[in-house]
């Protein structure tokens, strides 16, 4: 984790001067990165300069290199594009251009550069670093500087941040801007879906991605597309047309009223002929479908960053400054990346090389290599896409004996991706010959009505973008009537169970596991996919629905801040959900630039409030001209029984002495989000398939190989007892009742028994560990709260 608090500039170190720039194509989140670099740098006592207009500004120098103050980046988080400008600069590709850039940096005393851009920008930066000593030597020879003047500038420190909507950098799960672009794509395809369904049309949507199919693949998964074309998986020349027709026709035959095909702009066939949206359209017209093409173009770059990109850019910006302070001349230039939930550093040049080798592999028609160079998540999701759409023609059907009955139940308050996960699980089940059974209206629904419904392809076909719960959810837990539940499980002959829910789901899983002795039917693999906006399931850092919730809060707070600029100075105290867990409040504070965050983990007392009032006053004292946005304080609903949202607002109002107004704002159920975010849809699909595989693996332990003497006719069978009943899959094996968890860079299945014993605070309905603790502190640093506290 980013251990920021331990880092500080020791007094003997010379004051570091760091420059930050954005380069190449703009991407949402670049501003958040610049804000984080500027404020973290200042926090550590560094001077931070912004380089305006990318490498062009570096060459021009002078006013293009601007020393940034704390206030200069106010409001950056909510603005799209890059406020310090970007450019493509041919001169920087030339050595003389880079020499001029070096002279400008030395003139300002700068010897560290944080570059946020794509692989081109980062290649340029690394080249600049490697040439630096010789460039400096030449500048001395040219008489531009004396040897003494360049003495402190022997080395240039470079740190890379990947700002790119394509998500094409090797070694990192996501780049700054990629999820914002994906969100725009999904919004647009959702709009298209409505008209396509009305007219029974097919739509071919072209998305960005010259050498990288990430956007097209993820959009395919998140929008329930019938078919995708990506550069890494070139389609067979002259044959793809038939397969495309087959898949679209099959889905029509199953009852679908529309078709969606996503084409990456760099899509190819295996003879390297481009496959364009119009080529695809022609094929679909041949099939008799009324087909339209939409090319999304620059819409995909547009707009403000989604929550994911705001926190990603913020945490990476913070780590980039930390890297600058830690690096020695021998340290290879690092690139800041992310694996699952963990901010990581990797050697910049190796990642850039690997990235470029994908394009080279495509050019040499080595498509297996091209896809193998993408990260494991990419390959896994590509396989899932095929399994749930293209190969639903029986290609992946398992032998009869291996086919399972899998129950799916939703427990607790709805969160955004319940349907998306259920859809993916169902489609995967169907293509493998399993039977997916929806338990309607949670455990109490089962107890009261016994309704278990086998889900069909057409039932779930359009659930990818539906909020709420189509199969119904309920807060009741399993223990309310274990016997009845066992009866219906037995009746449906369930071989496995997927629970989607939050703490009630977690509790239900524990109860089912504890009842195995009494009701042997529960000796089946059972798994919980944490799905709650509170993110309070013990043992994991990630929960479905959280991303959608944070997006809703980002939009909500952006709107109310904006409204304040139209009226007068105003503070909003925003009350957010989360129960006893301050995760949502802390993250909302981090990504909206809130002045103060109040959570159950950090107790509110009078001295905290006094400090926050001082910070608010200081903040308002800097507001001038158009920079008059509202200020935010975020309060978790359970942060304190005394300092209610209203009371906090009254205290702030009273002490403002009429200098600023105060309002409360309670987004309430808006936080559950209407439509799931693109990220929640993708993760829902990934986790759902992982969980079915988990159930398959446990069941396979129970399959015996029956030998009837003929070596060729060996069949796999489940074991049966003397009465002909199937022997329970697993006998009290704790590992078979588990929660799918994300911890740092790892995804794993953790046994509920262990989690309950050692990681659960049952009373407060959350985990013992506050895994977001450090991010709360980073939020405090970037809002200025920590600095002011130190001074008070």
**Identity of the residue, 23 or 474, whose beta carbon is nearer to ligand ATP in the bound complex:** 23
The least distance separating ligand ATP from the CB of residue 249, rounded to whole angstroms, comes to 38
Q: Is 619 annotated as a binding residue?
A: no
* 522 contacts ligand ATP (rule: CB under 6 A): no
CA 323 to chain centre: 23
* 302 contacts ligand ATP (rule: CB under 6 A): no
The least distance separating ligand ATP from the CB of residue 683, rounded to whole angstroms, comes to 25
Q: Which stretch binds ligand ATP (CB under 6 A): 85-93, 225-233, 307-315, 430-438?
A: 85-93
Q: Is 118 annotated as a binding residue?
A: yes
Are 506 and 528 a contacting pair, CB within 8 Å? yes
Q: Is 516 annotated as a binding residue?
A: no
CA 499 to chain centre: 22
Q: Is 35 annotated as a binding residue?
A: no
Find the binder of ligand ATP among 17, 66, 67, 93 (CB under 6 A): 93
The least distance separating ligand ATP from the CB of residue 117, rounded to whole angstroms, comes to 4
Q: Is 265 annotated as a binding residue?
A: yes
**Identity of the residue, 57 or 600, whose beta carbon is nearer to ligand ATP in the bound complex:** 57
Alpha-helical segments (H) within 208-299: 214-222, 240-253, 277-286
Q: Which stretch binds ligand ATP (CB under 6 A): 112-120, 178-186, 644-652, 695-703?
A: 112-120
SS3 409: strand
Q: Is 671 annotated as a binding residue?
A: yes
What are residue 661's DSSP bridge partners? 570
Q: Which stretch binds ligand ATP (CB under 6 A): 19-27, 200-208, 332-340, 373-381?
A: 19-27
Are 415 and 469 a contacting pair, CB within 8 Å? no
Find the binder of ligand ATP among 31, 104, 121, 581 (CB under 6 A): 121
User: What span, in angstroms and rounded, lies between the C-alpha atoms of 689 and 756?
Assistant: 25
Find the largest Cα–Cα distance for the chain. Answer: 97
Q: Is 670 annotated as a binding residue?
A: yes
Site residue total, ligand ATP (CB under 6 A): 17
Q: Is 299 annotated as a binding residue?
A: yes
**Identity of the residue, 121 or 388, whose beta carbon is nearer to ligand ATP in the bound complex:** 121
The least distance separating ligand ATP from the CB of residue 228, rounded to whole angstroms, comes to 21
In sign, the C-alpha dihedral spanning 396, 401, 402, 407 is positive
SS3 436: strand
What are residue 205's DSSP bridge partners? 262, 294
Are 134 and 93 a contacting pair, CB within 8 Å? no
Find the binder of ligand ATP among 18, 22, 24, 513 (CB under 6 A): 24
Q: Is 578 annotated as a binding residue?
A: yes
Angle ∠(595,600,604) on CA atoms, nearest 5: 55
The least distance separating ligand ATP from the CB of residue 210, rounded to whole angstroms, comes to 8
**Identity of the residue, 67 or 93, whose beta carbon is nearer to ligand ATP in the bound complex:** 93
Find the binder of ligand ATP among 29, 75, 85, 117 (CB under 6 A): 117
User: What φ, ψ does residue 27 adopt, rounded to 5°?
Assistant: -145, 145
- For tokens 């093409």, what's the residue? 293
* 118 contacts ligand ATP (rule: CB under 6 A): yes
Find the binder of ligand ATP among 55, 443, 463, 583 (CB under 6 A): 55
* 18 contacts ligand ATP (rule: CB under 6 A): no
* 127 contacts ligand ATP (rule: CB under 6 A): yes
Residues 6+ apart with CB under 8 A from 149: 106
Are 676 and 684 a contacting pair, CB within 8 Å? yes
Binding mask 749-788 for ligand ATP (x = CB under 6 A): ----------------------------------------
How buried is residue 11: exposed, middle or buried, by Cβ count under 10 Å (0-12/13-18/19+)?
exposed
Enter the tokens of residue 302.
């547009």
Q: Which stretch binds ligand ATP (CB under 6 A): 121-129, 269-277, 458-466, 742-750?
A: 121-129
* 80 contacts ligand ATP (rule: CB under 6 A): no
User: What span, in angstroms and rounded, lies between the C-alpha atoms of 441 and 93?
Assistant: 62
456 tagged catalytic: no
Are 779 and 586 a contacting pair, CB within 8 Å? yes
User: For 640, what's the count of Cα atoms within 13 Å in the CB-facing half-sphere?
Assistant: 19
Q: Which of residues 669-708 bind ligand ATP (CB under 6 A)?
A: none
Find the binder of ligand ATP among 88, 356, 493, 789 (CB under 6 A): 88
Are 744 and 342 a contacting pair, CB within 8 Å? yes
* 123 contacts ligand ATP (rule: CB under 6 A): yes
* Ramachandran sector of residue 274 (left: φ over 0; alpha: ψ -120 to 50; beta: rest): beta
Are 268 and 256 a contacting pair, CB within 8 Å? no
What are residue 499's DSSP bridge partners? 409, 528
Q: Is 661 annotated as a binding residue?
A: no
Q: Which of residues 615-634 bind ligand ATP (CB under 6 A)?
A: none
User: For 369, what's the count of Cα atoms within 13 Å in the CB-facing half-sphere?
Assistant: 13
User: What φ, ψ does residue 549 adopt, rounded to 5°?
Assistant: -60, -45
User: What span, in angstroms and rounded, lies between the C-alpha atoms of 667 and 166?
Assistant: 33
Select which of 111, 166, 375, 392 is catalytic.
166
Q: Beta strands of 514-617 (E only): which ranges?
A: 526-530, 570-576, 596-598
Enter the tokens of residue 278.
């119009």
Q: Is 298 annotated as a binding residue?
A: yes
* 726 contacts ligand ATP (rule: CB under 6 A): no
User: What span, in angstroms and rounded, lies between the C-alpha atoms of 350 and 508?
Assistant: 47
Residues 6+ apart with CB under 8 A from 570: 564, 630, 631, 660, 661, 662, 663
Q: Which of residues 420-439 bind ligand ATP (CB under 6 A)?
A: none
Q: Is 282 annotated as a binding residue?
A: no
* 525 contacts ligand ATP (rule: CB under 6 A): no
The least distance separating ligand ATP from the CB of residue 51, rounded to whole angstroms, comes to 12
SS3 128: helix
Are 714 and 707 a contacting pair, CB within 8 Å? yes
**Identity of the residue, 21 or 648, whose beta carbon is nearer to ligand ATP in the bound complex:** 21
Q: Is 663 annotated as a binding residue?
A: yes
Instruction: Report the residue closest to ligand ATP, judged by CB.
Output: 120
Find the binder of ligand ATP among 82, 164, 388, 551 (CB under 6 A): 164
The binding site for ligand ATP (CB under 6 A) comprises 23-25, 55, 88-89, 92-93, 117-121, 123-124, 127, 164
Active site residues: 166
**Residues contributing to the annotated binding site for Mg(2+):** 119
**Residues contributing to the annotated binding site:** 25, 88-89, 118-121, 164-166, 201, 208-210, 265, 292, 298-301, 475, 532-536, 570, 577-579, 637, 663, 669-672, 765
**Residues contributing to the annotated binding site for ATP:** 25, 88-89, 118-121
**Residues contributing to the annotated binding site for substrate:** 164-166, 201, 208-210, 265, 292, 298-301
């Amino acid at each position: 984790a980013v251990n920021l608090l331990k880092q500080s500039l020791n007094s003997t170190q010379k004051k570091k001067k760091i420059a930050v720039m954005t380069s190449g194509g703009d991407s949402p989140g670049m501003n958040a990165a610049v804000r984080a670099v500027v404020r973290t740098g200042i926090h550590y006592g560094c001077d931070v300069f912004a380089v305006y207009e990318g490498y062009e500004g570096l060459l021009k120098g002078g006013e293009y290199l601007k020393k940034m103050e704390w206030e200069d980046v106010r409001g950056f988080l909510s603005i799209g594009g890059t406020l310090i400008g970007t450019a493509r600069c041919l001169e920087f590709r030339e050595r003389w251009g880079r020499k001029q850039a070096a002279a400008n940096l030395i003139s300002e005393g700068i010897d560290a550069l944080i570059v946020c851009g794509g692989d081109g920008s980062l290649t340029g930066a690394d080249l600049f670093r490697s040439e630096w000593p010789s460039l400096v030597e030449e500048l001395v020879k040219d008489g531009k500087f004396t040897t003494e003047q360049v003495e402190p500038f022997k080395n240039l420190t470079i740190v890379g941040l990947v700002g790119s909507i394509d998500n094409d950098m090797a070694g990192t799960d996501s780049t700054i801007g990629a999820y914002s672009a994906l969100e725009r794509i999904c919004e647009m395809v959702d709009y298209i879906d409505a008209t396509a369904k009305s007219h029974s049309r097919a739509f071919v949507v072209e998305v960005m991605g010259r050498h990288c199919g990430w956007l097209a693949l993820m959009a395919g998964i998140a929008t329930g597309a019938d078919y995708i074309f990506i550069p890494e998986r070139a389609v067979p020349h002259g044959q793809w047309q038939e397969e495309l027709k087959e898949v679209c026709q099959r889905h029509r035959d199953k009852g679908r009223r529309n078709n969606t095909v996503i084409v990456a702009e760099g899509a190819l066939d295996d003879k390297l002929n481009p496959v364009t949206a119009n080529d695809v359209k022609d094929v679909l017209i041949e099939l008799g479908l009324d087909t339209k093409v939409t090319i999304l173009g620059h819409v995909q770059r547009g707009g403000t960053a989604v929550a994911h990109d705001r926190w990603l850019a913020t945490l990476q910006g913070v780590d980039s400054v930390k890297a600058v302070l830690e690096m020695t001349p021998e340290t290879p230039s690092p690139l800041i990346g992310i694996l699952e939930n963990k901010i990581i550093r990797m050697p910049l040049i190796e990642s850039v090389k690997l990235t470029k080798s994908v394009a080279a592999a495509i050019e040499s028609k080595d498509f297996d290599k091209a896809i193998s160079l993408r990260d494991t998540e990419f390959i896994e999701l590509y396989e899932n896409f095929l399994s749930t759409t293209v190969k639903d023609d029986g290609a992946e059907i398992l032998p009869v004996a291996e086919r399972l009955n899998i129950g799916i139940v939703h427990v607790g308050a709805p969160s955004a991706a319940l349907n998306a996960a259920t859809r993916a699980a169902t489609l995967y089940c169907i293509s493998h010959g399993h039977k997916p059974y929806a338990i309607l209206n949670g455990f109490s629904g089962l107890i009261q009505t016994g309704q278990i419904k086998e889900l069909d392809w057409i039932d779930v076909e359009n659930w990818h973008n539906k909020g709420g719960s189509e199969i119904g959810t309920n807060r009741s837990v399993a223990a309310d009537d274990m016997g009845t539940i066992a009866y219906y499980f037995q009746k449906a002959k369930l071989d496995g169970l997927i629970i989607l829910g939050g703490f009630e789901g977690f509790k239900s899983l524990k109860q089912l596991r504890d009842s195995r002795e009494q009701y042997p039917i529960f000796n089946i693999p059972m798994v919980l996919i944490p799905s709650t906006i509170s993110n309070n399931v013990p043992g994991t850092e990630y929960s479905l629905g959280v991303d959608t919730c944070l997006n809703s809060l980002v939009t909500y707070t952006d709107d109310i801040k904006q409204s304040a600029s139209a009226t007068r100075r105003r503070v909003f105290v925003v009350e957010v959900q989360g129960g006893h867990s301050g995760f949502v409040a802390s993250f909302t504070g981090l990504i909206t630039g809130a002045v103060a965050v109040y959570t159950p983990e950090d107790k509110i007392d009078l001295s905290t409030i006094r400090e926050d009032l001082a910070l608010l006053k200081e903040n308002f004292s800097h507001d001038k001209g158009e920079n008059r946005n509202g200020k935010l304080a975020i309060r978790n609903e359970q942060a304190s029984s005394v300092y209610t949202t209203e009371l906090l607002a009254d205290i702030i109002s009273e002490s403002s002495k009429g200098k600023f107004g105060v309002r409360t704002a309670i987004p309430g159920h808006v936080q559950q989000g209407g439509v799931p975010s693109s990220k929640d849809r993708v993760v829902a699909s990934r986790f759902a398939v992982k969980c079915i595989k988990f159930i398959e693996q446990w069941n396979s332990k129970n399959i015996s190989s029956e030998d009837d003497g003929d070596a060729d006719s060996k069949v796999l069978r489940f074991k049966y007892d003397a009465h002909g009943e199937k022997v329970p899959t697993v006998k009290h094996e704790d590992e078979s009742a588990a929660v799918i968890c994300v911890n740092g860079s790892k995804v794993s299945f953790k046994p509920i028994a262990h989690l309950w014993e050692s990681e659960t605070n049952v009373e407060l309905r959350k985990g013992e560990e506050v895994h977001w603790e450090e991010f709360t502190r980073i939020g405090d640093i970037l809002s200025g709260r920590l600095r002011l506290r130190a001074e008070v």
